[in-house]
Amino acid sequence: MNKSTRNRLLFGLLFFAGLFTLIASLQYWFVRDQLHRTIVSEMNDWADEVVDEINYNGKWDLAGYRRSNPEARTYYIVTADGFLVDIAGLVSGMIPPVRVPAGLIYDQPFSVISEIGEQSRLFAKRVRGGLVIVGVPLSDSHPGVDDRLRSNVQPFGATIGSAAEVTDRQVDLTIEYAVIDDSGRLQNAAGGIPLSTNPPAINQFVNGI
């Protein structure tokens, strides 16, 4: 094979290698764009579903929403004032530091009315590195609710680390909970334990997505 033939062959190989790379890149970006569009569409559908379940009409009436089962598995609902209405599928860092209900009582059940008028029965327990709050809306309450709260706080253990590892399977179906470290960060949460956060920090997080 002479030098000219080798050069043409080499050029041809380089050309097809470049063409293959270009086609592969275009396919990658096309698939990525389609996947992004699909995910955004699905998230919009989930958000619409949650909004429909809440059925807000000038006031909060959450009894029906608390009994619903939205398809979305990761979301949180927050008012314009920073009150956290509900949390599902908490992802670390998705919510700024939180504030606990005023007058929080430890190691005994107590009732509280949230900023949006929802009544809950809660039980708070200090753990090493933070605290755990379990609760139920009073609409789901019954005479044995206090014993249920005491029982359901046990799986969270004595440290923030063990409490952060608890899953929904380890507590009763209607039990809501929040695990908060000493810096105010949510390490684990599910449901509507009455907590508040900073609205500007929420807006900053959303705008940064």
- The per-residue pLDDT for range 44-56, each reduced to its tens digit, is 665 666 667 676 6
- Higher per-residue confidence, 171 vs 25: 171
Q: How far is CA 143 from each of CA 122, 133, 149, rounded to the nearest angstrom?
A: 14, 20, 12
Q: Are 160 and 128 in contact (CB under 8 A)?
A: yes
CA gap 121, 129 in Å, rounded: 24
CA gap 31, 29 in Å, rounded: 5
Domain count, the chain: 2
Within a 10 A sphere around the Cβ of 95, how many other Cβ atoms?
Answer: 21
pLDDT digits (tens, 9 = 90+) for 158-177: 999 999 999 999 999 889 99
Residue 71 pLDDT exceeds 90: no
CA gap 60, 79 in Å, rounded: 10
For the ranges 73-82, 96-105, 108-117, 155-164, the lowest mean pLDDT is seen at 73-82
> Based on the domain organization, do 148 and 186 belong to the same domain?
yes
> Based on the domain organization, do 5 and 47 belong to the same domain?
yes
Quote the domain boundaries for residue 23: 1-54
Residue 40 pLDDT exceeds 70: no
> Based on the domain organization, do 179 and 106 belong to the same domain?
yes
Cβ-proximal residues to 127 (8 Å cutoff; 6+ apart), any chain = 156, 157, 158, 159, 160, 162, 163
Residue 116 pLDDT exceeds 80: yes
Within a 10 A sphere around the Cβ of 87, how many other Cβ atoms?
Answer: 25
Q: Are 181 and 160 in contact (CB under 8 A)?
A: yes
Arithmetic mean of pLDDT, 55-73:
72
> Based on the domain organization, do 121 and 165 belong to the same domain?
yes
Q: Are strands 130-137 and 119-127 parallel, antiparallel or unpaired?
A: antiparallel
Amino acid code (one letter) for 1: M
> Based on the domain organization, do 70 and 170 belong to the same domain?
yes
pLDDT of residue 106: 97
Residue that is last in its domain, among 54, 77, 93: 54
The tokens describing 91, both together, are 């992802």
> Based on the domain organization, do 160 and 187 belong to the same domain?
yes
What spatial distance separates the first Cα and last Cα of the chain, rounded to whole Å? 58
Length of the chain: 209
Helix or strand or coil: residue 22? helix
> Based on the domain organization, do 80 and 163 belong to the same domain?
yes
CA gap 191, 85 in Å, rounded: 8
